[in-house]
């Protein structure tokens, strides 16, 4: 992306990371934040029940379906989607605040949401995180054991469709190693990473 008449690349301020369930998005994003604490990562709203290791308002804001529907009605989401039987959405307020404060921002969302962000904010950078192979993804979903077999099958079906959408994304990062993938993502976002946060990443 370039400014008219300029040869200097303009760094997008909003980055979307998508990728199939089990690909390791959360681990990669956690590593990115560890290296780049200034980055604002949006906390989504969901109707899914919390997993045992998840803490409310840190991993997600957990709400019931009626509340989610009210939030849609009030236009409180940048985007939202139904995924494997639950709703997920990006709240607009905190994101707007971060962007107007000039902070680089990151959304970790699925593909339908990424498409909505692209439509609403064409300058956003869309990155697809992919597994080294389909077998690796299958293995990771089994190993983490957070889904029952039916839910896992559902997520694997959705994962195939998500990987088919890779051509709609600006860049692809292979999660063969969390630290390597995190650094590649930071480079794409225009940060420098390297343990110490850059003084002026944007």
Binding site for ligand 5GP (CB under 6 A): 21, 25, 44, 48, 79-81, 83, 88-90, 108-110, 112-113
Q: Which is nearer to ligand 5GP, 117 or 186 (CB)?
A: 117
N-term to C-term CA, the chain: 14
- Nearest-CB residue for ligand 5GP: 113
Q: Which is nearer to ligand 5GP, 144 or 194 (CB)?
A: 144
CB of 153 to ligand 5GP, least distance (A): 15
DSSP state of 102: T
Q: Which is nearer to ligand 5GP, 151 or 192 (CB)?
A: 151
What is the side-by-side order of every strand in the sheet holding 77-83?
60-62, 44-46, 86-91, 77-83
**CA separation for the pair 162, 127 (Å, rounded):** 12
Beta partners for residue 130, in sequence order: 174
Q: Which is nearer to ligand 5GP, 82 or 194 (CB)?
A: 82
CB of 37 to ligand 5GP, least distance (A): 21
Dihedral (CA of 81, 64, 153, 180) sign: positive
**CA separation for the pair 94, 68 (Å, rounded):** 17
CB of 50 to ligand 5GP, least distance (A): 10
CB of 201 to ligand 5GP, least distance (A): 23
CB of 2 to ligand 5GP, least distance (A): 29
Burial call 173-186: b when 16+ CB within 10 Å, e when fewer: bebeeeeebbbbbb
Q: Which is nearer to ligand 5GP, 83 or 169 (CB)?
A: 83
Cβ pair 119, 98 in contact under 8 A:
no
């Amino acid at each position: 992306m370039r400014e008219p008449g300029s040869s200097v690349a303009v760094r997008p301020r909003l980055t979307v990371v998508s990728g199939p369930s089990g690909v390791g998005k959360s681990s990669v994003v956690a590593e990115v934040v560890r290296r780049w604490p200034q980055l604002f990562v949006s906390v989504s709203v969901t109707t899914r029940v919390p997993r045992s290791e998840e803490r409310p308002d840190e991993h997600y804001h957990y709400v019931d379906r009626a509340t989610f529907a009210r939030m849609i009605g009030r236009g409180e989401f940048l985007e939202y989607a139904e995924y494997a039987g639950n709703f997920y959405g990006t709240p607009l307020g905190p994101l707007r605040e971060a962007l107007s404060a000039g902070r680089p921002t990151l959304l970790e969302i699925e593909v339908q949401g990424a498409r909505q962000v692209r439509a609403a904010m064409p300058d956003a950078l869309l990155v697809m995180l992919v597994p080294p192979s389909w077998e690796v993804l299958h293995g990771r979903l089994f190993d983490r054991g957070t889904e029952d077999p039916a839910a896992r099958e559902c997520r694997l079906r959705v994962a195939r469709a998500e990987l088919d959408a890779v051509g709609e994304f600006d860049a692809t990062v292979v999660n063969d190693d969390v630290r390597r993938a995190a650094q590649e993502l930071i480079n794409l976002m225009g940060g420098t990473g390297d343990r110490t946060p850059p003084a002026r990443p944007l």
